[in-house]
Amino acid sequence: MWLIICLAIILIVKIVSGWQRPLKFPPGPCGLPILGNILDVKRLVNETKFYSHAWCRLANIYGPIVGLKLGIAEPLIIVSGRDAVIEMMNRPEFDGRPDGFLHRHRTGGVRRGVIFTDGDVWRDQRRFVLRTLKEFGFGRIAMEDIILKDAVSLTSIIESLSKSGPITNLHNITSIAVLNSLWTLVAGSRFDLDKENPKLMEILSIVNDLIRNSNVTGGILTHLPFLRHIMPGFTGFTVLNQRLAQTSQFFWSEITRHKQTKTQGEFKDFIDVYLAEMDTKQSNSVISYFDEEQLISIVKDLFTAGVETTNNTIGFIITYLVVKQDVQRKVHEEIERVLGKEALPRIAYKNQLPYLNATIAEVSRLANVGPTSIPHRAMMDTTLLGYEIKKNYTLLANFRSVHMDEKHWGDPREFRPERFINDKGEYVEDPWVITFGLGRRKCLGEILARNSVFLFTACLLQKFHFVLSPNHPDLILDGVDGFTIAPPNISIIAIKRT
């Protein structure tokens, strides 16, 4: 009896002590024992409809550094405002990635890949990925030609579809075209935009579902991971396992195909080079992070990152322009003046298209496809703006708070590309737009993403005038929440420009 009482007292003390905030812990809502701030965040998201809006609401109440406790996971620190975001993103002690249940489960129980790893594994894999992709034309003229080929194919498909009336699946069509550029480098093959590819569409749909049904906090499986044993259906664990198995099988089959067709000394793509690196390490009996499971995880990371944010950005550009017809008209006039109707857009023309660049920048700022950084992890005990940040705390940089800062932008909620045009009519980048992040964890695909968005957008607007289909309901431009923000589903009419 006394033993039970003592254990109960110890449990109560542990719960209460875990609930109380340390003296220098960042300010935030008090929360509840065990649950912490899960209900607080849920209420705010229900009110604002977006996690990123909830973070901005908390920053308005508590300041640039907000501390949250979500279940039994390590505390989550929301970092808002440009000064705080820049400091956090540029300090190496915050370069880690979370090491929770979900971050391991997504790659077979071990942290693998380049997105959710850190330390030696991340450094070795990232260095290899960048070096190898550059060797195959990443960021060069060869890459530009590949992107343009897909952009031209996309315009042909849209022209064909437009003859049948409004287009309702533009997001799916552009996703394959956007993916093709990277997939050519990674797997040495291309997907034919003119032909049905049920397997690819299934994988793209699964990846989209995974992103739409997750958020940067990790969700219930990160906050209270033990619930997967009690309520696997309710927590989404059952469906998650099915989706992870399907995507893994898709990438395993691609690796297997490469192993069966590879030729000694001949490297057609990233996968071939990685397989050769694995063989070299193994033959030299060197302890290595290069293995098939790691390769699968990297390819999966590249596949997801290569299509998601770029495709969403292009989708948002079209969405904004069907609403802001005056802006679309100005872009049309500029493209016609510089390129005419037949010359293909090129990166070399970029400086001659300031209003197009300004429009892309304004959509990127206002749409906030990636409203926060991918979660970071403190690698050691430290402080941030005077607050104590313990080792393994998770940190999120709130990019939306920077992109919507009234003191800097003046009218941040207004869609106004002119804010990026100077008195001479030139496009001027604003360092307050941090779409690709900062510091060592900055997006490694930034060059490809920038070039893809520019070339695809230029090609589409050179050929088409986009309008909403008749009787379309009022369009809400906020988009659809998830790990990233997707453009709203719309029905558009693509009118060929003559």
The pLDDT-based confidence of 306 (bands split at 50, 70, 90) is confident
- How far apart CA 74 and CA 349 sit, in angstroms, is 48
Residues 475-488 have a mean pLDDT of: 90
Residue 347: per-residue pLDDT? 92
Amino acid at 416: R
Q: What is the CATH number of the domain that holds 454?
A: 1.10.630.10
Q: Is residue 471 part of a domain?
A: yes
What residue numbers bound the domain in which 73 lies?
22-496
The reply to whether 30 sits in an annotated binding site is no
Structural domain contains residue 428: yes
Residue 341's pLDDT band, with cuts at 50, 70 and 90, is confident
Answer whether residue 8 shows pLDDT above 60.
no
13 found inside a domain: no
pLDDT for residue 439 is more than 80: yes
Note the residue count of the chain: 498
Lowest mean pLDDT segment, chosen from 24-38, 94-108, 346-360, 471-485: 471-485
> What pLDDT digit, counting tens, does each position of 121-171 carry?
899 999 999 888 888 776 566 788 889 999 999 999 999 988 888 998 888
Share of the chain above pLDDT 70, in %: 95
| C-alpha closest to that of 143 among 458, 428, 463, 454 | 454
* Structural domain total, the chain: 1
Give the chain's radius of gyration (CA, Å): 24
- Decide if 450 contacts 390 (C-beta within 8 A): no
Tell me: pLDDT of 252 over 70.
Answer: yes
Handedness of CA 402, 404, 409, 410 (dihedral sign): negative
Give residue 286's pLDDT: 67
SS3 for 350-402 is HHHCHHHHHHHHHHHHHHCCCCECCCEECCCCEEECCEEECCCCEEEEEHHHH
Closest CA to 455 of 196, 174, 246, 224: 174
What's the pLDDT at 138?
65
Over 70: is that where the pLDDT of 20 sits?
Answer: no
- Mean of pLDDT values over 279-291: 77
Residues 454, 324: contact at Cβ < 8 Å? no
Give CA separation, 344 vs 95, 179, 333, 338, in Å.
40, 20, 16, 11
**Mean pLDDT, residues 245-269 taken together:** 87
pLDDT at 336 over 70: yes
Question: Contact, 369 vs 485, CB < 8 A?
Answer: yes
pLDDT at 300 over 70: yes
Average pLDDT over residues 291-311: 89
pLDDT of 498 = 82
484 token code pair: 């990233």
Q: 12 lies in a domain?
A: no
User: 167: which strand partners?
Assistant: 492
User: What is the C-alpha separation between 42 and 381, in angstroms, rounded?
Assistant: 29
Residue whose token pair is 């469906």: 239
Within a domain: residue 5? Answer: no
Residue 163's SS3 state is coil
Among 213, 207, 2, 222, residue whose Cα is nearest residue 98: 222
Those residues with Cβ within 8 angstroms of residue 236's Cβ, 6 or more apart along the chain or in another chain: 213, 219, 220, 221
Q: Which two tokens stand for residue 258?
A: 């490469």
Classify residue 17: in a domain, yes or no: no
The pLDDT confidence band at residue 95, using thresholds 50, 70 and 90, is very high
Among the listed residues 454, 441, 448, the one whose alpha carbon sits nearest the alpha carbon of residue 133: 448
- 313 within a domain of the structure (yes/no): yes
- Mean pLDDT score, 49-63: 96
The whole-number pLDDT of residue 213 equals 86
Q: Which of 44, 50, 128 is nearest to 404 (CA)?
A: 50
In order of 162, 358, 406, 451, 489, the CA distances from 409 in angstroms are 38, 14, 5, 26, 28
Domain assignment of residue 233, yes or no = yes
